[in-house]
């Protein structure tokens, strides 16, 4: 177990390094720099700004300095927010993004699991076809489209929830629901497929032959193995939720990291873009690792040390 975890942590660190390197090279390959678009600024001021952020140094030296700072936990100063560190921008915007993402996952996973189990138990019936169709629609509709629809329905037409802003729990309902619907649809499809396969296994048939209650057979014996595909998909699902948060935050005007990421990319804020890319790479690597460990906890046949 320990050997496996150390190996996965090393792979995650390598993935974060690769993301940081590619982001650094791609940003510096873009023509111009964060200060070249400023009009009416004296050249001496531009040179001083370049010297302050190290843009006047060779590219390899900038890269080495950035990696060294990243290893120390120092992501540098933002080039577009005066006197603000990248870590400070992340600390300010992450609670908003984390609240939306965690609420979406907290709603989507349980709802999807229940719908997937219900659909598998009614396989071939009208209710099963309706649930499968609804899950297909939920997977196909982008988060920002669902956000706009919910915004109009619950905010404009019915006036039940705020359509934009941040600060109260009511402001989190619609953004979280916009992302949670996709999570629920994916979870339902994966759990249904797993349950359909597991319900025909011999140990499930044996448990039923022993006279065990149907609820015990489904949730104690069948569901534990049927949920394995969903556990292994934890990383990709988390990645989609993170990517969807960017668009949803723009729709609802929320001050999360998605807003900073989009603005930093448009303004060529090198340090902020690289810092956010590294932060999200580490976050998603942790989610993938958590999914693999969860699979091993649910299925003792998986040998983590293998």
- Structure pTM? 0.80
Residue 142 has φ and ψ, to the nearest 5°, of -65, 155
Q: What is the pLDDT of residues 167-206, one digit of tens each?
A: 788 888 999 999 989 999 999 999 998 888 888 777 777 7
Residue 297, token pair as written in the block? 């906890």
What is each CA distance from 229 to 169, 221, 224, in whole angstroms?
Answer: 32, 16, 11
Residue 303: band (very low, low, confident or very high) from pLDDT cuts 50, 70, 90: low
Q: Is the dihedral of CA 125, 130, 133, 135 positive or negative?
A: negative
Summarize pLDDT for 123-132 with one digit per residue, the tens.
888 888 998 8
Cβ-proximal residues to 154 (8 Å cutoff; 6+ apart), any chain: 160, 161, 173, 174
Quote the mean pLDDT of the chain: 83
Largest Cα separation within the chain, whole Å, is 85
pLDDT of residue 81: 77
Residue 240, CA distances (Å) to 14, 114, 192, 254, 292 in order: 21, 21, 21, 18, 18
Domains, the chain, ordered by start: 97-268 (1.10.3720.10)
* Sequence-distant contacts of 2-7: CB under 8 A, at least 24 apart: 3/305, 4/304, 4/305, 5/289, 5/293, 5/304
pLDDT value, residue 18:
92
User: Half-sphere exposure of 8 toward its Cβ, with a 13 Å CA cutoff?
Assistant: 19
Three-state SS across the chain?
Answer: CHHHHHHHHHHHHHHHHHHHHHHHHHHHHCCCCCCCCCCCCCHHHHHHHHHHCCCCCCHHHHHHHHHHHHHCCCCCECCCCCCCEHHHHHHHHHHHHHHHHHHHHHHHHHHHHHHHHHHHHCCCCHHHHHHHHHHHHHHHCCHHHHHHHHHHHHHHHCCCCCCCCCCCCHHHHHHHHHHHHHHHHHHHHHHHHHHHHHCCCHHHHHHHHCCCCHHHHHHHHHHHHHCHHHHHCHHHHHHHHHHHHHHHHHHHCCCCHHHHHHHHHHCCCHHHHHHHHHHHHHHHHHHHHHHHHHHHHHCCCCCCCC
Phi and psi at residue 55, in whole multiples of 5°? -75, -10
Best mean pLDDT range from 10-14, 128-132, 214-218, 259-263: 128-132
Residue 197 burial by Cβ neighbours in a 10 Å radius (0-12, 13-18, 19+): middle
126-140 and 86-121 helices, crossing angle to 10°? 160
Distance separating alpha carbons of residues 61 and 102, to the nearest angstrom? 39
State residue 242's pLDDT score.
77
Task: Provide the pLDDT confidence category of residue 111 given band limits of 50, 70 and 90.
Answer: very high
């Amino acid at each position: 177990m320990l050997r496996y975890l150390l190996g996965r942590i090393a792979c995650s660190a390598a993935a974060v390094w690769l993301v940081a390197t590619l982001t650094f090279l791609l940003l510096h390959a873009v023509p111009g720099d964060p200060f070249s678009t400023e009009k009416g600024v004296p050249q001496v001021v531009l040179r001083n700004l370049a010297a302050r952020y190290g843009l006047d140094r060779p590219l390899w030296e900038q890269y080495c300095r950035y990696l060294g700072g990243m290893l120390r936990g120092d992501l540098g100063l933002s080039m577009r927010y005066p006197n603000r560190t990248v870590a400070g921008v992340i600390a300010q915007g992450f609670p908003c993004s984390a609240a939306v993402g965690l609420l979406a996952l907290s709603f989507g996973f349980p709802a999807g699991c229940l719908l997937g189990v219900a659909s598998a138990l009614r396989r071939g019936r009208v209710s099963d076809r309706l649930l499968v169709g609804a899950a297909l629609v939920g997977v196909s509709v982008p988060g920002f489209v669902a956000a706009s629809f919910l915004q109009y329905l619950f905010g404009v037409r019915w006036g039940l929830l705020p359509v934009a802003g941040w600060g109260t729990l009511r402001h989190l309902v619609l953004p979280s629901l916009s992302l949670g619907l996709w999570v629920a649809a994916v979870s339902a499809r994966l759990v249904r497929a797993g349950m359909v396969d597991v319900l025909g296994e011999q140990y499930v048939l044996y448990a039923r032959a022993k006279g065990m209650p149907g609820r015990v057979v489904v949730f104690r014996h069948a569901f534990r193995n049927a949920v394995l595909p969903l556990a292994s998909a934890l990383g990709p699902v988390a990645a989609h939720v993170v990517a969807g948060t960017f668009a949803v935050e723009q729709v609802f005007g929320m001050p999360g990291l998605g807003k900073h990421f989009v603005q930093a990319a448009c303004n060529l804020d090198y340090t902020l873009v690289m810092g956010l890319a590294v932060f999200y790479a580490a976050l998603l690597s942790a989610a993938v690792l958590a999914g693999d460990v969860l699979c091993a906890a649910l299925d003792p046949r998986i040998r983590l040390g293998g």
